[in-house]
Amino acid sequence: MIRRFSDGLFSGGGTRPPFNKTGKVWRRATLKSHLTMVADNLNRYNSRYPGNPMPWPYEGCDTVRLIEDTSIEPTPVKEFA
């Protein structure tokens, strides 16, 4: 996931990514492809319109790695509900 520091919101993906509370979960390879695509589109746009450059949408962002918890703690269904 890509999280913006300023407000803690997550990127929803796309060439002009919206930021929201849920965001998009990426696999490593697709995240790299996404960042390459965004950079290519940004460079293409900024070379066509140098007087009106578009900023890097992930300025002030960080990638967040989600780690699956594989521990098992059985809880009876009656107690869980």
Model confidence pLDDT, tens digit, residues 1-23: 999 999 999 999 988 899 999 99
Q: Where are the domains of the chain?
A: 2-80
Ramachandran quadrant class, 29 (left: phi over 0; alpha: psi -120 to 50; beta: rest): alpha
User: In this structure, what DSSP letter does residue 80 have?
Assistant: H
For residue 79, is pLDDT > 70? no
pTM, two decimal places: 0.74
Give per-residue pLDDT as tens, 41-75: 999 999 999 999 999 999 999 998 877 776 767 76
SS3 content of the chain, % helix, strand, coil (to 5): 30, 10, 55
Report the C-alpha gap between 12 and 34 in whole angstroms: 11
